[in-house]
Amino acid sequence: MTGTSDSPTQPVIVLQNLVKFFGRFAALRDISDSFAPGRLYVVVGDNGAGKSTLLRVIAGLMQPSQGSVTLLGSESVREVASRIGYMGHAPLLYDELSGLENLRYFAGLYGLHDDGVCNRAMRQVGLDPDLERRVGQYSQGMRQRLSVARAVLHDPELMLLDEPFSNVDVHSAQDMAAILGRVRDQGKTIFVVTHQAPLMEAVADEFVQMSAGKIVSRQLMTRSAQPVGSVTGGQ
């Protein structure tokens, strides 16, 4: 772990009156909520519910129209950027480079210049670091795995993952869900946006339901995938 949030009880993410407009359309509507460290949150909801927008606003890729986001105790995402890992809906990888070349470049952006880090990250997601094939020739499942490796490369405390299982076969998706569970067990906080909620039932700590730009419910889970309670509203 590269560090921890300032205290074990301090929320990793605090959202206050978060609003995001695209023109006149409100993608996020006055969201206020907080998320504890060391847990795996699964954000679910219909298309257009605001899941990906919420993730992009948290990651600092979009500015909220109103409200604020506090990450790891800081209101400036740039200040804590090295403690956050983000995986977008697209793979965020260069097709013309091999898997290892991609990871080497992104590791350099975090000040990591040790090939061992890249090799470890690739092995962690079940990829061979010696594979010389370019990413453009990878299968969709391999790309998604490499994308996860890129997001965890710098050992972030908070991981934000947008649809990590899209276009991935069931077996690979189950493997990836298990990997995420192991990463959470190391004390990381993981925020996963997905349409394939059943895949995460075995490892999720909490399901966050979004609808029409709002968090409408939060359902706590046991590790045996049984819901143990819910909090409605999220405000």
Per-residue contact string for residues 137-166; x = within reach of other proteins by CB under 8 A: -------------x----------------
Would strands 189-193 and 40-45 be described as parallel, antiparallel, or unpaired? parallel
Q: Is 93 in the site for other proteins (CB under 8 A)?
A: yes
Per-residue contact string for residues 162-201; x = within reach of other proteins by CB under 8 A: ----------------------------------------
* CA gap 14, 26 in Å, rounded: 20
Site for other proteins in 28-67 (CB under 8 A): 59-63
Site for other proteins in 102-121 (CB under 8 A): 105-106, 108-111, 113
Q: What are the two backbone dihedrals, phi and then psi, of residue 121, each rounded to the nearest 5 degrees? A: -65, -40
User: Which candidate, 142, 125, 141, places its Cα nearest to that of 133?
Assistant: 142
Judged by CB under 8 A, which stretch of 41-49, 97-105, 119-127, 212-220 contacts other proteins?
Answer: 97-105
**Considering only residues 26, 92, 131, 220, which one is a binding residue for other proteins as defined by CB under 8 A?**
92
Query: 193 with 40: CB under 8 angstroms?
Result: no
Q: Is 131 in the site for other proteins (CB under 8 A)?
A: no
Q: Is 3 in the site for other proteins (CB under 8 A)?
A: no
Nearer to other proteins, 79 or 185 (CB): 79
Judged by CB under 8 A, which stretch of 35-43, 86-94, 114-122, 165-173 contacts other proteins?
Answer: 86-94
Q: What is the DSSP string of 24-81?
A: TEEEEEEEEEEE-TT-EEEEEE-TTSSHHHHHHHHHTSS--SEEEEEETTBS-TGGGG
Structure tokens belonging to residue 19: 């609003």
User: Which candidate, 183, 181, 187, 222, places its Cα nearest to that of 8?
Assistant: 187
Q: Which residue has the tokens 């070349």?
A: 101
Cα–Cα distance list, 231 to 12, 33, 60, 173 (Å): 19, 11, 27, 28
Nearer to other proteins, 26 or 220 (CB): 26
Q: Is 94 in the site for other proteins (CB under 8 A)?
A: yes
Where on the chain is the footprint of other proteins (CB under 8 A)? 59-63, 77-78, 81-82, 84, 86, 88-97, 101, 105-106, 108-111, 113, 150
